[in-house]
Amino acid sequence: MRVPKIAIEEHINVPELADDSAKYYPPDTWKKLRPALMDVEGQLLSDMDKCGIEMSVISLASPGIQAIPEPQRAIDVARQANDFLAEQVEKHPDRFQGFAALPLQDPDAAAEELTRCVKELGFKGAMVNGFSQIDREDSIIYYDLPQYWPFWGVVESLNVPVYLHPRYLIEERSDIQGHPWLLGSVWSFGVETATHALRLMTSGLFDMYPKLTVILGHLGETLPNAIWRIDHRISAIPRGIPAKKKMAEYLLNNFYMTTSGNFCTQTLINTILVMGADRVLFSADYPFEQMSEAAEWFDRVDTISETDWVKIARSNAEKLLNLGTSSR
């Protein structure tokens, strides 16, 4: 086994939201996922020990707070969830750190809660599970909209990243209706999250807040593969885009990628070629992916230098999240 790893997309749940994701999974699958999400000190720690993972940055499972349409309830549950996360970290500070859950139904409240979580609870950033529903069950609100820019300013001032994580769509996309096997992590997760990230880039958000940092899982939700053509076609057919730079510049300067749920060596190498090894971090996506599969795959990767392997395994996370751990 190589140096102990740090994983940063590892999910848990809280009693208030324990069954919110049940409708997305077959009953037999959910029977396994539900207890795994709740058993932080048992199964998660055990899996980490078996897989050579020294530390996990834990976060609330998708869709979490983002699926609560009532703003005040979202604010209340986010605070309760973050207090619960903080309790887990306090019990095992050498094994766990936390990403805050945010009530983005109210951008000002989200900024206030993130500030509390970072300054009082010691959290390392936030995990945002895609768009938010606000006031109505069928609403879909993205964070490039003007009302969110002050929130992003607070994120930049706190010098912490936001992990933009997928969530299930409220309704099936028209292009996959009748094809349920393309829902979720198979395909629609990546399309949705990549589009959300591109909305942030094209809006000019990173021109206003050049030090803002966003993390994408699953080796970038296909964006490292697509970014050249995106810029190529934007330049070929100008459409009055607000952003001042090429999308590749934002991707390279404002984004990090993790290996969560994408244990493919060829895709890892391509992501490194596009992003550089300093912008890639190890993750598993527990419990929706097997931590053992993630670890066994990454431990066997020998097509990159050992220096880059250690960066991805832990030192990039130590630097980005200011973890205070020491590489071994």
Report yes or no on 326 lying in a domain: no
Report yes or no on 313 lying in a domain: yes
What would the mean pLDDT of 25-39 be, rounded to a whole number?
Answer: 89
* Sheet strand arrangement including 96-98: 5-12, 53-60, 96-98
pLDDT of residue 325: 65
Lowest-confidence segment of 12-26, 121-135, 202-216 by average pLDDT: 12-26
Which conformational region is residue 222 in: left (phi greater than 0), alpha (psi within -120 to 50 degrees), or beta? left
Contact yes or no for 286/308 (Cβ under 8 A): no
pLDDT digits (tens, 9 = 90+) for 63-114: 999 999 999 999 999 999 999 999 999 999 999 999 999 999 999 999 999 9
- pLDDT value at 139 more than 70: yes
pLDDT of residue 66: 97
Report yes or no on 316 lying in a domain: yes
The more confidently predicted of residues 175 and 232 is 232
Report yes or no on 148 lying in a domain: yes
Q: What residues pair up with 58 in beta bridges, in sequence order? A: 10, 98
- pLDDT value at 327 more than 60: no
Considering the chain, what percentage of its residues have pLDDT values greater than 70?
Answer: 98
C-beta atoms surrounding 33 within 10 Å:
18
pLDDT of residue 1: 54
pTM: 0.96
pLDDT of residue 324: 79
- pLDDT value at 266 more than 60: yes
Report yes or no on 274 lying in a domain: yes
pLDDT digits (tens, 9 = 90+) for 161-194: 999 999 988 877 778 888 888 888 999 899 999 9
- The per-residue pLDDT of the chain, averaged, comes to 95
Distance of alpha carbon 169 from alpha carbon 196, whole angstroms: 13
Q: Which domain holds residue 296?
A: 5-321
- pLDDT value at 203 more than 70: yes
Report yes or no on 327 lying in a domain: no
Q: Name the active-site residue from 285, 299, 302, 308.
A: 285
* Predicted confidence band of residue 18 (pLDDT cuts 50, 70, 90): confident
Report yes or no on 328 lying in a domain: no
Identity of the residue numbered 212: L
The CATH number for 237's domain is 3.20.20.140
List C-alpha distances in Å: 219 to 31, 108, 154, 164, 312.
28, 31, 26, 12, 12
- pLDDT value at 210 more than 70: yes
Domain count within the chain: 1
Report yes or no on 44 lying in a domain: yes
pLDDT of residue 122: 98
What would the mean pLDDT of 40-59 be, rounded to a whole number?
Answer: 96
Q: Is 299 among the residues known to form the active site? A: no
Collect contacts of 32-35 with beta carbons under 8 A, ≥24 apart: 32/287, 33/287, 33/288
